[in-house]
C-alpha cells in the first residue's frame, strides 16, 4: 500500500470480500514493523494498560496515556489508518467525547477513534461523526465494562443476540465506519457482518467477520502467559528476547563483551598527554 489506508478503502475491501487485518501498536518501533509488514489498520488500544503498563484491566488508562502512545505510533510514518481508543469514562457525555477525541486527534495524531458500547452511545457517535470525527464501534465483550460483564463470550442467548444486532445497526446509522465484535459467537458475528454495510472486525468472533484484530503481544508471544483462546501466536519472540539478554549478561560477566572491535581507540601519545595533564592537576 503506497498511500494511507482510508475509510473508503475499508469500505471497498468489504465490498470486494477482501479481509482486513488490524493489529494493535503501542510504540514507535512496533508501528514501523507493522507498517513494513503491510498492516492496513493499526489500533492504539487501551489494552496498553495491561500489556505495556502492567495493570490488570484497561480502566487505569488515562487520556494522557493514550495521547502519548498514539503520538509515538503516528511518528512511525506508516500508511496504515491509525485508530485510537477513547479510554474509560472519557466519553460519558457527547461533550466529554468531543474533548477526548480532539486531544487524541490533534495531539496524538490518530485518524479515527474507537468507542465501546451500543445504543447508549449512539448519540455520542452521531455527534462526533457530524463534527468530522471518524468513529469505530466496539460491541460484544467490551473490556471497559468487564467488571459488569465478566470476561466471557457475550450474546449467546436470543435476547442478547437481538440486542447486539440492534446495537450494531444503531452504530451504523449513527455514522460509525466499522465495528469491532469481541467474544461474540461466530454464527452471530457472521450474521451481523452480513446485515451491515460497514466492515466488522472480529476478535474471538470467528472467521465470518470482514477482518480480524489481534494484540501485538499475543501475536508475537511476548508475554509469559498463555494467550487467550482466540489469539494465535505466530512467533515466540519473548523467548528469543530472554535468550539474547541472558547471553549479554553472561558475556558482560565473563568479560567477553565488549571486544576491541566494539570499543573506540585512542592515539597513545594523546592518552599520555591527557594523563600528564591530569596528574599535574592532582598535584
Residue 8, CA distances (Å) to 19, 55, 126, 221 in order: 14, 36, 18, 33
Spot the catalytic one: 130, 182, 191, 251.
182
Contact 178/14 with Cβ under 8 angstroms?
A: no
Catalytic residue list contains 116: no
DSSP label of 115: -
Could you give the C-alpha distances from 263 to 206, 249, 255, 257, in angstroms and in order?
A: 53, 18, 13, 10
Q: What is the Rg, in whole angstroms, of the alpha carbon atoms belonging to the chain?
A: 24
Instruction: Establish whether the linkage from the previous residue to 181 is cis, with ω within 30° of 0.
Output: no
Contact 175, 167 (CB under 8 A): no
- In angstroms, rounded to a whole number, what is the distance separating the alpha carbons of residues 121 and 167? 10
C-alpha cell at 239: 523467548
Could you give the CA distance from residue 217 to residue 232 in angstroms, rounded to a whole number?
A: 11
- Decide: 39 and 22 in contact? Cβ < 8 Å: yes
Cell of 282: 592532582
Catalytic residues: 182
Amino acid at each position: 500500500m503506497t498511500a494511507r489506508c482510508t475509510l473508503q478503502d475499508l469500505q471497498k475491501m468489504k465490498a470486494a470480500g477482501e479481509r482486513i487485518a488490524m493489529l494493535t501498536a503501542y510504540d514507535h518501533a512496533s508501528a514501523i514493523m507493522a507498517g513494513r509488514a503491510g498492516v492496513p489498520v493499526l489500533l492504539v488500544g487501551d489494552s496498553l494498560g495491561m500489556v505495556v503498563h502492567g495493570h490488570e484491566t484497561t480502566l487505569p488508562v488515562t487520556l494522557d496515556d493514550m495521547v502519548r502512545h498514539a503520538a509515538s505510533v503516528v511518528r512511525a510514518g506508516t500508511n496504515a489508518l491509525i485508530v485510537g481508543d477513547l479510554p474509560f469514562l472519557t466519553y460519558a457525555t457527547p461533550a466529554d467525547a468531543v474533548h477526548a477525541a480532539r486531544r487524541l486527534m490533534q495531539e496524538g495524531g490518530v485518524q479515527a477513534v474507537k468507542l465501546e458500547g451500543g445504543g447508549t452511545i449512539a448519540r455520542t457517535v452521531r455527534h462526533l461523526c457530524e463534527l468530522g470525527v471518524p468513529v469505530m464501534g466496539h460491541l460484544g465483550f467490551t473490556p471497559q465494562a468487564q467488571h459488569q460483564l465478566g470476561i466471557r463470550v457475550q450474546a449467546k442467548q436470543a435476547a442478547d443476540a437481538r440486542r447486539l444486532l440492534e446495537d450494531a445497526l444503531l452504530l451504523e446509522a449513527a455514522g460509525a465506519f466499522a465495528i469491532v465484535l469481541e467474544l461474540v459467537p461466530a454464527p452471530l458475528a457472521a450474521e451481523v457482518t452480513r446485515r451491515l454495510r460497514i466492515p466488522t472486525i472480529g476478535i474471538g468472533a470467528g472467521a465470518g467477520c470482514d477482518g480480524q484484530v489481534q494484540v501485538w503481544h499475543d501475536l508475537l508471544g511476548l508475554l509469559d502467559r498463555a494467550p487467550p483462546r482466540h489469539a494465535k501466536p505466530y512467533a515466540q519472540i519473548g523467548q528469543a528476547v530472554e535468550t539474547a539478554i541472558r547471553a549479554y549478561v553472561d558475556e558482560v560477566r565473563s568479560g567477553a563483551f565488549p571486544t576491541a572491535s566494539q570499543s573506540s581507540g585512542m592515539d597513545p601519545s594523546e592518552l599520555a598527554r591527557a594523563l600528564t595533564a591530569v596528574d599535574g592537576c592532582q598535584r
